[in-house]
Amino acid sequence: MSRQPATTDRRIEILKSAAAAFRRRGYHGASVDEIASALEMTKGNLYYYFKNKEEILFACHEYSLGKLLVLMDEVEAESLSPDARLRRLVLAFVHLILDDLHGTALTLDPEALSPPLLKRIIAKRDRFDHGIRTIIQQGIDQGVFKPGDPKMIEFAMMGAINWISKWFDPNGAMTSDQIGDAFADYLVGGLQQ
């Protein structure tokens, strides 16, 4: 007899299936039916975990941003240099895009969410953006990084990483570790004096 997966595991499986469906057909084009049937689940069973498609999209965003914010807390608690902290966050973000929910939560347009849910996602995203900008500013203040506008640098950095989902080929020559290193060398290394 196979072990019954814990509720949390099952929820994450649903998020992965949904992320793949949203990626293939867009949020509006994907149906709860196809998300369920890819997992050999009935729609009724899926509704035990999530009330509707919007709740699934919200959970995707929350899951990805949650992972990034846990790491941000860890990194903020450590006494690393700004470049070491930024490098860790860039690598984690690249891996989240490539290996986890394939970045859906972060590259999909959250505008499909209704205002109260959208507000909660934007608040988390703002916290992450703010954390990145603070590290860039600290690096500039400490003379580790070249002078520049932390907001523009953060937008460029996050855009470069978010865009990976547009060109990444899982059958391509580059592993996610190699992509992570190349991106961190360029995006963080380029800030150094």
Q: Which residues contribute to the site for a copy of itself (CB under 8 A)?
A: 26, 146, 148-149, 152-153, 155-164, 166-167, 174, 179, 182-183, 185-187, 189-191
Residue 70 vs 152, nearer CB to a copy of itself: 152
Identify whether the C-beta of residue 113 lies closer than 8 Å to the C-beta of residue 123: no
Query: CA–CA separation, 9 vs 128, rounded Å?
Result: 25
Report the Cα–Cα distance between both ends of the chain, in Å, rounded.
59
Tell me whether residue 40 or residue 111 sits nearer to a copy of itself (CB atom).
Answer: 111
CB of 32 to a copy of itself, least distance (A): 20
In whole angstroms, the minimum distance from the beta carbon of 47 to a copy of itself comes to: 27
**Considering beta carbons, is residue 33 or 149 the nearer one to a copy of itself?**
149
| Alpha-carbon distance values, 116 to 55, 58, 93, 103, 167 (Å) | 12, 11, 26, 22, 32
CA distances from 56 to 31, 32, 105, 126, 185 (A): 11, 9, 10, 21, 35
Which residue number, 37 or 176, has a Cβ lying nearer to a copy of itself?
176
Smallest distance from a copy of itself to CB 182, Å: 4
- Between 47 and 155, name the residue whose CB sits nearer to a copy of itself: 155
Query: Smallest distance from the beta carbon of 160 to a copy of itself, in angstroms?
Result: 4
Nearest-approach distance from CB 54 to a copy of itself, in angstroms: 18
Q: Closest Cα to residue 82, out of 131, 43, 151?
A: 131
CB-nearer residue toward a copy of itself: 41 or 157: 157
Minimum CB distance to a copy of itself, residue 179 (Å): 7
CB 75 within 8 A of CB 88: yes
Q: How many distinct helices (H) and strands (E) make up the chain?
A: 10, 0
Rounded to whole angstroms, how far apart are CA atoms 147 and 104?
Answer: 33
